[in-house]
Amino acid sequence: MKINKAELQTALEKVKPGLASKELIEQSTSFAFLGDRVVTYNDEISISHPIKGMEGMQGAITAKALYDFLARVKQEEIDLSLEKNQVVIKAGRSKAGLIFEQEVRLPIEEIGQIGKWKKLPEDFRDGLKLCHPCCSRDMSRPVLTCVNIVDDRIEAANSFQIIQYRMKKKLPGKGFLIPASAAKELVRYEIQELSLGESWGHFRTPNGTIFSCRTVEGGFPEIEAFLRMDGSEFSFPEAMKEALIRADVFARKESAADDPPVVTVRVKGGGLELSSKNEYGWFQEKMKTRHKEADFSFTVGIEFLISLFDKLQNCVITPEKIGFSGENWKHVIAVVSNEE
């Protein structure tokens, strides 16, 4: 069968985040071909995307071998054929055979039947993108490792911060919790529709990609009281945005890829200090503020703070917390005195 290589690569790229790093589940490091779709599954998420010209294929191929070989092929069109237990790929003068397991053993049936699709609020993805970095990494409280999505709200919290995003319209159907690790991948897709099952949520893009992820049972804590702010206004200096861009170099840690890069801000006696560090080194920069009496410190995701400067430079300070807010979102961070 003749296949457009670029179209096949696009399909594989769409489902690649659903691969497992290690094969703890059989075939979880493989691309599974099921009729007119290619599927991946790693127990937390499963992604499928339509493919053209391979409707007759039913089986699994080790992902790395297929993906890496196609990346090195220059021809626009390749020829695929099934020969016993392998897929033979011809590309120009090159020919390769990949082991093909004709039985798909991924437990895809666990995700259940996908029901009726419902349209998501247009700003759902924006809210999810803003909130998921604020989730906890502490598995002793599983609900705080998730994004809470209910009615018109998207919420997240950990031991030192809370964030809430208000969508322009309510979510269709009941609320649910999805792990931050799944949300981090989900926001990369142009999702427009939702179908919610008993223990899996399914999201669909206009080009037919279906992103499925496990939902989590549990009650998310009430956060409205913590979002109320009645304090004094604080303005960050103009020079802070450029300093944050420099601090970002030392905020990113290769050894903790799942943890968002953070920066620490210390304000005291009319001065402000930014600091960040990783396994390669550290960064520190000082600047002046017009708030002589302010005395506090906080740590926050550096990407959030950089993006904040495109919208506003003011916040509200109380002895216990610092509050940022926009038209449809609120973000509260616990602060400490520099004497503590």
Closest CA to 150 of 134, 163, 166, 126: 166
Neighbouring CB atoms inside 10 A of 61's CB total 23
pTM assigned to the model: 0.89
Neighbouring CB atoms inside 10 A of 6's CB total 11
Q: What is the mean pLDDT of the chain?
A: 92
Q: Which residue has the tokens 């926009």?
A: 326
Residue 312 has pLDDT above 80, yes or no: no
Tens of pLDDT, residues 70-128: 999 999 999 989 888 899 999 989 999 999 999 999 999 999 899 999 999 999 999 99
Give pLDDT, residue 54.
80
Q: Which residue has the tokens 């223990």?
A: 199
Tens of pLDDT, residues 234-288: 999 989 989 999 999 999 887 655 577 899 999 999 999 999 999 999 999 999 9
Give pLDDT, residue 255.
63
Q: How confident is the model at residue 56 (pLDDT cuts 50, 70, 90)?
A: confident
Q: In angstroms, rounded to a whole number, what is the distance separating the alpha carbons of residues 28 and 108?
A: 10
Q: Look at 21-30, 71-80, 308-317 and tell me which has the smallest mean pLDDT.
A: 308-317
CA angle 232, 238, 239 (to 5 degrees): 125
Mapped onto helix, strand or coil, the DSSP state of residue 259 is: coil
Burial of 238 (0-12, 13-18, 19+ CB in 10 A): exposed
Give pLDDT, residue 83.
87
Bridge partner residues of 87 (DSSP): 82, 98
Closest CA to 33 of 8, 2, 1: 8
